[in-house]
Structures are given as structure tokens and as C-alpha cells.
Structure 1
Amino acid sequence: MKKTALCMALAMAMGLAGCTAPSSSTKTVALTEEQTVVKNQQFAQFSEQFIDELWQQYPEASLWAGFGKYDDLITIPTQASRDANAAFSKTQLAKLQQFDLSQLSNSQKIDYHLIENRLQRDIWHIETFKSWQWNPSSYNVSYGFATILNSRFKSDDEKLKLVLKRLQYVPAYYEAAQSNIHNPTLEYTQLAISQNQGAFSVLNDELLDKLATSLLSAEDKALFKQRFAAAKSAINGYVSFLTNLEKELSESGNARSFRIGEKLYEEKFAFDIQSGYTAKQMYEKALADKARITGEMVQITDQLWSKYFADTPRPQSDRDAIATLIKHLSVKHVKREDFVSEIKAQIPELEQFVKEKDLITLDPEKPLVVRETPEYMRGYAGASISAPGPYDKKENTYYNVTPLDSMSEEQAESYLREYNHWILQILNIHEAIPGHYTQLVYANESPSLIKSLLGNGAMVEGWAVYTERMMLEEGYGNFEPEMWLMYYKWNLRVICNTILDYDIQVNGIDKEAGLDLLMNGAFQERAEAEGKWRRATLSQVQLTSYYSGYREIYDFREAQKKELGEAFDLKAFHEEFLSFGSAPVKYIRQLMTK
């Protein structure tokens, strides 16, 4: 859906995804208490119906949310399905805009904005951004099959029956995917090859072993084997197509650039972040914070220098002094073969600290399982969380950690220096406790299904970043200056993520300049910097969500502390903040300060 310049300006200023067409929502009409109750009930009914219809339109999304009703379906990504998706969004927008925003409850106002943003963003992706043409990695059936097969609440026979039904769609799915690809980026093509090859870690011969001992009928077993073979052939065909395409793009040099430019970047930022700032304004804030954090690191370096370099003069350059100290400290790290097991061992320690300090209530019935990252998910991030949706909230949350087996000794050592003794602990705070894992458990308990399902990524990532500093402020690491130095190094990475993403996508910096920013400006190891450069070529805007969300949450907490004084309760703040689901921070702030 096209947007005028005025519309985009208003959207960015208000932190909304786009402009609402003139409707009753622009008027303010005083209602009686009884009329207000009726309006709220009507909106609640609309929201419930909207979710039901959303799942019918997007069955794969309903599977990831744990809805369950459409798990046997796979949407074939044809032009007809995209047209139907756009029409659905426009119809739902028209229904939404019949409500007067001023007459809704505070919580429902947030839901209104979240629904509006989702619908306008979907239209924009289909009609303007069009990544379905140039991102081959967006086509991958592995995730849906893996979600079903990993379920703890389905029997093997139930899983096999669902897999049997889904397998029938795979050949047509990849046929449509192949026909959609037009002038893709080389980077997305390469990612699509590796991840679709990883599909066979899900659709493997172990399934056939389970099939042989299952209670499925002989007819279904024969059909399963037939569809299984056809699906594997379709995936191999897609990989082969992409392999040839990659060779052609590499040799010709005619691949589409992964840079999307300022206009698309600002539009995507408005949809994805829902901030009160434009992307450029956030970029400028990050530049200022980079200078401030570097100053903090200079002070700690001066404090620690004589402890580690008693006989060595401090370099005149602050940057060289910080880098020298970080390099010296970073040799303290876990062995490469113990990387995953060490992460597992640290989780109970984090749980104990949170309980002792009474920072937030942890739910013992919502398990966190640390596992090696499944092969079909590798190649994007070294650590991630796979959380269940609000419909299957009793399922496990998985902390995916990629082992270092595929790295050379040099690469592994560089990676481990980056995730050294101190930073590995900060990583686990961020990903697990009380970061992503904890926040997503709370999100599933939100009374608003809209907030849980249409969550804001900047709030989700921002919370994880916020908890890193909060834990250290509460004494995790015993206020050790080495821990704080490494935290600032880590936090500087969050800040530089925003700078890097904007510099790459808008300002067009090359890889050498990007690595220089990360390695010399943020003191990162080469392996980490290389990985971040790769990630920045495979996404847009998402890297800014960490800094944006963190800044808003931390600033809000400090304002609450100032306003409430001795009455401020950190645990109460955390639990109330998380009770609103994964809503944009600015809307949570509005509810908490009413």
C-alpha cells in the first residue's frame, strides 16, 4: 500500500505504522459508562474474530503460535495467495477503522495499534518491499515440520499423521517458490541453500523408522513413503536451482544489492520498531551513546591497568589501552568442546541469583531446554531462543546454541575470546534468565492475546538488553570492574548494531568499513565482526531493535524511580511491565503511568 510523504511523517512522529483513513476513530464522542462497556465488548469480539480469521489466512503462523487447528496445511506461495493476503489485510483494516480509538480502554488502544501495524505492514511487504522475489531463504518447509515433531503433547502417531498431510504440499510449494525468485541477492541465495540442505535433519530416515513401528494403516504408510520421497526430491530440486543461480550470480556480478536504501529503510523501521523516532534520529542517538560508553570504558581501563600491566606503561591512545586490556582479559574462556555444556551449567546459577535478589517471579513449570541449534536453523545467529506460543505455553522453550564443531581452531579461538568468561554470562542473561526466556513466558500469560501474538520486536529485544545492565546493577558479578568493562563492550555492540545497520543499508559502507567499526570502534573479535556483517546483509532494521527497546525501557524505569522515590519496587516494576505482553514500550509506559 503506497503512503504519501505526509502519512509517513505522521507515522514516524507518532510511532505508528502508518496513517489511518478518516473515520469515526478521528472523532471524540463522550459515552456513558454503559456505552463504553458495549464498545469495549464489541472491540474484544472483533479482536477475537480477527485472530481466528488471521490464522485461517496464515496457517503457518497459527502453527508457530500453537493454535493447532490448521497444522496440517502449508500455503502455496503463489501470486494468488499474495493477492488474497493483501485483500484480507485491507478488509480487516476497514473493519478496524470503524472503531473510535478514543472510546476504547487503554489496553484496547494498544491492541488497535498492534493490529493496524500488522495489517499495514503485511500490505507493504507484499506490494512494496517484495522480498518474496529476492529472498530465496524465505522459502523453507523445515520449520513447520520441526515444530510438529518437537511437540511434547502429541503422540508419535499424531505427529506422523500431520506430517503425512503436510508432505502433499511440498512439491507445489517449492515449484511456486522457484517461480517467484527474481533477481535475488547473492547473500540470501547462499543462506537459502544451506538452510534448505538442513531440512534433511528434520525430514530424515528416522521418520521412516518411526513410521514402520507406528499404528498408521498400511495404505497410509505407503502414501507417507511416496510423499516423503516426492518432498525430498522437491527440496533437492530447489537447492539445485539455487546452486546454479548462485554460480550465475557470482560469475555475472548481477545479483541484487542487499542494501535497501533510505526510503525503504525508514518505512521498514516505522513498521518494525514502532518508535517515536525516525531511523535517522535513532542512528544519531546511537552515535552519541557510543562516545559516552567509550568514556566509561576509559575510566575502568585506567582503574585496572596497574593490576594487569604493572610494568607496562599505558598507551597514550585510549582506544589502544582499552583494546589491550580487553584482549588480555579475553583469553579467559571456556574450551571449545565445553561451550554448550558451560551454557547449560550457568542457567541454574542465574535462576538462583534472580530468586535471592527477588527481581522477578520465575515459573518452575515452564522449562528452559538448552540444545544444540538444529541444522536447518544454523547460519544466522550463534544463540537464539525458540519459545512456544500462547496456545501451547506448556511446551518447552529452547535455548539454541550452535556448537563450534565447524570452525577452524583460529575461528573457534576468536569466537571464544569474544564470548569469554564474562560475556558468556551476559549472553545467558540476555537469551535466558531473566531475558528472552523470562519475558516470553510472561508474554504468554498476558490477558490480551493480541499483545502476545503481535508482539513488538524492539520491546522483546530491548527487555533482554535491559536485563543485562539491571543484573549487574543488582550485584551479579559482585560489581567486578572486569565484568563491567566487558558489559560495556557488549553494550557497545548493541549500540554499534544500530550504527552498522543504518550505515550499511542507507549510507552504503563497504565491508572493510563495517569491520573497522565493529573491531576498532566496538572492540570485537574478527569472527564476531564477520558474523555480524553477514547478519546485517541478511536482515534490515532488526539489528536496531536491541538498542531502541533498551533505551526506552531503561529511561522509563529511571523516570519511575525518580517519581516514586522510596516507594519504587523493582520487582513490581518488572512484573507489571511484562504483564502487558510484548507491546511497544511507549504504550506500556502510557498504561503504567495512568
Structure 2
Amino acid sequence: MKRFLLLVMILIVSVSACKEQASKEIATDQNEKFDTFKEEFLKGLWKQSPGWASYLGLHEYDSILNIETEENRNKLLKSFNEMDAKLQQFKLGNLDDGNKIDYHLIDNTLETGVWYTNTFKGYEWDASGYNIAYQVWGIVNGDYADLETRLEILSALLVNVPAYYDSAIKNLTRPTLEHLELGYNQNQGALSLLGDSLLDSISTSTLNAEKKETLKVRVEASKKAVSNYIAALEQLKVELERGTPKSSRIGKVLFDKKYALENNSRYTAEEIYNKALQEKKHVHKQMIEITKTLWDDYLAGVEKPTDKIVMVKMLIDKIAEKHVAREDFVDEIRRQMPILAAFVTEHDLLTQDPSKPLVVREMPVHMRGVSGASVSAPGPYEKGRDTYYDVTPLDGYSDEEAESFLREYNHYILQILNIHEGIPGHYTQLVYGNQSPSIIKSILANGAMIEGWANYAELMMLEEGYSNSPEMWLMRSKWHLRSVTNTILDYSYHVLNLQKEDAMQLMIAEAFQEKTEAEEKWVRVTLSSAQLSSYFTGFSEIYDLRDEMKALKGDSFNLKEFHEQFLSYGNAPVKYIRELMIK
């Protein structure tokens, strides 16, 4: 009997081991097949989005300029549906943790692409969506190949420019005035890229005479096409101003869906909006307490107003008088980068890679008009290249506008901006993102995670003692109110019909922003949707996750380990990173 039972036990263990081995083999097979699928997915994606591929450092598609036609949209939808059918063949349970995130990212990208094409239809109303400047800029100013090779690529691209802009004019059946004006301004940058400097480069190149002449003809045809588009936009503007143009407010149904697709968050659009309203009250309370302690240092003898928010604004206005000179704005940003890097190293907050420097430069002309500062990181296909911190110089501002801008980016807030955009914010996070073993996570980057990290970095640096003063904490609270207010503006404009007068009151009186900053943010909220909510969304999710990990690990919690584990998952949505870190 004992012998029989022993045989049964051996059989059970053997069968169990066989099942486990078979399960492992299935999982291995599924992961290998999924890796092959990802390569196929990306090849199809780049054919549809060559400009995106070039931005990420993959240049084999640079000569392609996709024309927005109904036939091409149908081809795009067909490719999305075919890829989705292949994706659904994989079972999440058989994929490893990294591939599970990649599965979710691809699934979200395909759903987003179909929704944008069938439902959002920006090609019918967003005049700024048509612009060859980004692709031309990448070819003309790239150094991935010699000049002659790049000029031949440019020549092939420019063949389709007339048809591209002809299609654009036909597609704009219900343009918004706001996007029309942006399209007009940014295409002026496209014209400048096709100007004398390019013609000089063609003339001095070693291309043969026939190729030079062909390229010059194509440049002139392209300039004419861009000029015709700009003229068409001018005419459309006149017509729209006479009538009732389409509103740039997208409404609750579209906004809720766009927020869900783009931010990929545990929060809904309405939930993060309500959370932002509560956060505004909380931050106001903190700022009032700090103001009470600093009042006599800056406004001794001045009676405190009964309105506490007015009291805070009076102190902020006084502190904001300390700022860099107009002509030194870009240089001061450049000076602060090594100081921030040294602090991160000394406090052991993150491991940094000195081989990937951050280069501060004036923002290229064709990129201006939406934000004053941003980071342009190398794509996953060109990881060794520099990361640029693009800063809009103040040359185009009047004296009054420049002073207002500099008061907004005063001595304290300029440092917070540099943490956010530079170290250890966007620049540092994107360096880590490009080190991810999965290129999918680098490419299909989640905006809320990226923006959330930059906002989290600001608070974390101050918590760890960077420039630890009441003034800095007050100004960081003011800066944090910006991301909070971004969320309120975003939802209120597109869903609740917020008017400019009320928006300016919110930004200037309640969020303590300067008029120039508020004016620019109003323009931005009319041009974008759901993106302004990403900052507070990502920040909230990351800070919540850190609290969870602290509670789980107790005394063994290590801040550097948390940062590096979090960033090791690449540019993935926080909700998926959370699942893996909690597990």
C-alpha cells in the first residue's frame, strides 16, 4: 500500500512538473512571438508616421510625406485593424511583466489611432496639423548622414509637398480660428526653412548639376505650396471672423475619451478635475501660513489685507521682483544645470549618466508659439545624441511683456523650472527611458508619467533640502498651483464652457500668475485638450505610489531605490508601473 501511495505521489509530482515545464515553454514561446510582433508593429507604424520615426532617430522613412486623403485614412484604419487582430492572439497571462506593459501600450495606441481617425477628425479642423517644417528641419539640420545624402532625401520628400498642402486646404471643412492662426504662424517657419540658406547649401554641395537644379525646382514648388496654404488660411480667417467659426472646445464626450486614451490613468477626467479643485484649497492654506511668517521680512509696516489670497499675492509680487536680467535669461538657465546635477549626486537621489549632457539652446523658430521651454530628447534609435533644453529667448517681447515674464520666472521659480525641465526632471527621466530594454516603452511614451515625474521631481528636491527656504516653498506652491490650475482650465474650458475673463481671474488672482503667462496659457488651452491635465494626473499617481511603497517597506524604504526602480520601467503609464512595483 505504501509502495502504491509512493508511486501515486511520484506520478502527481511528475505530472505537475510536466505541466509547469509546458507552461514555461508556452510562455517562452509567446514572449518570443510577441517580440517578433512588436517589430512588425513598429515597421507598420513608421510607414504611417515617418515624421515621428525621424523625431525618434530612425531616418529610413525621412523621404516619405503622407498625404491626408480619404484613401490613405482607409488604408491606415485597415492596418490598425489588422494589427489589432494579431495583438488579440496573445494572452496576457503568458507574457512576462515587461511585455504585459508593451501589450497595453500597443493596444492603447491602436485604439487611439482608430478613434482619432474616425471620431476626433482633427484633419477637418486643425490647420496647425499641416506643416512640413518638422520633417524638413530634421533633414536639413540633421547630421545622421552627409549633406549630399540628406539633400537627396529632401528632394524625394519635396515631390509630394504641393499635393500635401492641396489636400490640407480641401480637408479643412470646419476649421477653428485658434488652430488656423497657429497653422498660419508655424508655416511661416516652414517658409523660412525653404529660404536662401537652404539654396546656398544646395549650391555649395557636391551634387551634380542636374540634381541641384531638380532640387531647386522642388524647393520653389514647395515654397509656392506653403505660400498658397498660408494665403488660404488668411482667406479662411476672414470668412470665419464674418461668421460663426467652429469652437475649439471639444465637449465632455470627446474630452473624457481623449483624456482616458492619452493619460491612461487610474483617474477619470472628472475625478482628476475634482481632485484639482480640492488641491487648490489645500495649497492656498499652506501658502497663507508661509506668507504670515514672511510678511514682515518683505512688507514691514504694510497692513495685511483681510483677504488672505490677496495677502499671499502681495507677498509673491514683492518676492518676484528678484529675477534675472532679460538679456541673461538663457545664460542663467545654462549656469544652473551643473548645480542641480551636483545636488542630485551629493544627496544620492539618482544615478546620473555624465556621458549624456543636457545642452541649453534657444528654441528653434518653427517650434515656438506653444510653450516657453521644453526638452527635446534623442530618440531610442539615436541614444548617443545630445538632449536639448529649448528656451524661447525674450527678443520678441515688449519691455512690459518681458518684465511680466521675468517676474513669473523669478529667482526662485526659474530654479523650479530647471528642475522640471532639466535635472532631475524631464531630461533625467528621458535618459532613463531610453535605457529601457523595451523600445516600445520609449516610443509609446505616456505623457502623464513623463510630466508627472517632472512635477514630482520639483517637490522631491525641496523635500531633500534643495534651496530650503520659506521663499522657495512659497514659490514652489505657486508653481504647483500651475499644474493644478492647468487641470481645472483644461476641463473647464472644454467641458464647462469656461470664458476667458473667468480663466484669467483663476490664473492671476487665485494661482498668482503674471498676465503674460496667463495670456499664453489661455492660448494653449484653446489649442490643446487633455494634455494640460497630464501634469497633475501623473504627479498625483507617482506621489500616491511613493506613499504606498513607503507603507509597504517601512524602515527598509530607500528613496534612490524607489526612483531607479520606478524609472526602470520606461515611459509607461503609472498605473501599470504601480502594478509591478506593488507586486
Tell whether the structures are fold-level matches, with TM greater than 0.5. Answer: yes
Q: 2:359 aligns with which of 366, 369, 393?
A: 369
What residue is the counterpart of 1:339 in the other structure?
329
Q: 2:519 aligns with which of 524, 527, 530?
A: 530
Asked if 1 retains the 8 angstrom alpha-carbon contact of 2:51 and 2:134, the reply is no
Asked if 1 retains the 8 angstrom alpha-carbon contact of 2:407 and 2:514, the reply is yes
Q: 3-state SS of the aligned residue for 2:370?
A: coil
Asked if 2 retains the 8 angstrom alpha-carbon contact of 1:151 and 1:395, the reply is no
Q: 1:277 aligns with which of 256, 267, 271?
A: 267
1:150 and 2:141 matched: yes
Give the superposition deviation at 1:69: 1.6
Q: 1:550 aligns with which of 539, 544, 552?
A: 539
Cα distance between partner residues in 2 of 1:286 and 1:381:
22
Give the superposition deviation at 1:298: 0.8
Q: 1:141 aligns with which of 132, 137, 143?
A: 132
Q: Spell out the pairing of 1:443-522 with structure 2 (5 A cutoff).
A: 443-477=433-467, 479-522=468-511
Unpaired stretches in structure 2, ≥5 consecutive residues: 1-19
Cα distance between partner residues in 2 of 1:197 and 1:249:
21
Q: 3-state SS of the aligned residue for 1:390?
A: coil
Asked if 2 retains the 8 angstrom alpha-carbon contact of 1:439 and 1:578, the reply is yes
Asked if 2 retains the 8 angstrom alpha-carbon contact of 1:152 and 1:395, the reply is no
Identity %: 50
What residue is the counterpart of 2:51 in the other structure?
60
Q: Which amino acid aligns with 2:34?
A: F
Give the superposition deviation at 1:560: 1.4
- What TM-score do you get using the length of structure 1 for normalisation? 0.93
1:333-372 CA-to-partner distances (Å, cap 9, x unmatched) read 1111111111111112111211222211222222322111
Q: 3-state SS of the aligned residue for 1:475?
A: coil
Give the superposition deviation at 1:558: 2.0
Q: 3-state SS of the aligned residue for 1:392?
A: coil
Q: 1:209 aligns with which of 188, 200, 206?
A: 200
What residue is the counterpart of 1:20 in the other structure?
none
Q: Spell out the pairing of 1:123-202 with structure 2 (5 A cutoff).
A: 123-202=114-193
What residue is the counterpart of 1:306 in the other structure?
296
Q: Spell out the pairing of 1:23-172 with structure 2 (5 A cutoff).
A: 32-172=23-163
Cα distance between partner residues in 2 of 1:322 and 1:30:
66
Asked if 1 retains the 8 angstrom alpha-carbon contact of 2:267 and 2:537, the reply is no
1:115-154 CA-to-partner distances (Å, cap 9, x unmatched) read 0100010000010010110000000000011122332332
1:357-396 CA-to-partner distances (Å, cap 9, x unmatched) read 2211222222322111111111111111111210011222
1:415 and 2:405 matched: yes
Q: Which amino acid aligns with 1:344?
A: R
1:6-34 CA-to-partner distances (Å, cap 9, x unmatched) read xxxxxxxxxxxxxxxxxxxxxxx996212
What residue is the counterpart of 2:343 in the other structure?
353
1:212-259 CA-to-partner distances (Å, cap 9, x unmatched) read 22111111111111111111111111001101111111122x210011
Larger radius of gyration: 2
Give the superposition deviation at 1:433: 1.0
What residue is the counterpart of 2:16 in the other structure?
none
Cα distance between partner residues in 1 of 2:554 and 2:150:
54
Cα distance between partner residues in 1 of 2:551 and 2:299:
41
What residue is the counterpart of 1:248 in the other structure?
239
Asked if 1 retains the 8 angstrom alpha-carbon contact of 2:189 and 2:365, the reply is yes
Q: Which amino acid aligns with 2:537?
A: S
Q: Which amino acid aligns with 1:256?
A: K
Return 44-53 or 297-306, whichever deviates more. Answer: 44-53
1:301-355 CA-to-partner distances (Å, cap 9, x unmatched) read 0111121122122222110110000000011111111111111111121112112
- What TM-score do you get using the length of structure 2 for normalisation? 0.95
1:293 and 2:293 matched: no
Give the superposition deviation at 1:269: 0.8
Give the superposition deviation at 1:442: 1.2
Q: 1:379 aligns with which of 349, 353, 369?
A: 369
Asked if 2 retains the 8 angstrom alpha-carbon contact of 1:31 and 1:103, the reply is no
Give the superposition deviation at 1:199: 1.3
Cα distance between partner residues in 2 of 1:238 and 1:442:
41
Q: 3-state SS of the aligned residue for 1:398?
A: strand
Give the alignment's Cα RMSD to 1 decimal: 1.4
Q: 1:316 aligns with which of 306, 319, 324?
A: 306
Asked if 1 retains the 8 angstrom alpha-carbon contact of 2:451 and 2:538, the reply is yes
What residue is the counterpart of 1:17 in the other structure?
none
Q: 3-state SS of the aligned residue for 2:361?
A: strand
Asked if 2 retains the 8 angstrom alpha-carbon contact of 1:201 and 1:374, the reply is no
Unpaired stretches in structure 1, ≥5 consecutive residues: 1-28
Q: 3-state SS of the aligned residue for 2:350?
A: coil
Q: Which amino acid aligns with 1:83?
A: N
1:415-441 CA-to-partner distances (Å, cap 9, x unmatched) read 111111100111111111111111111
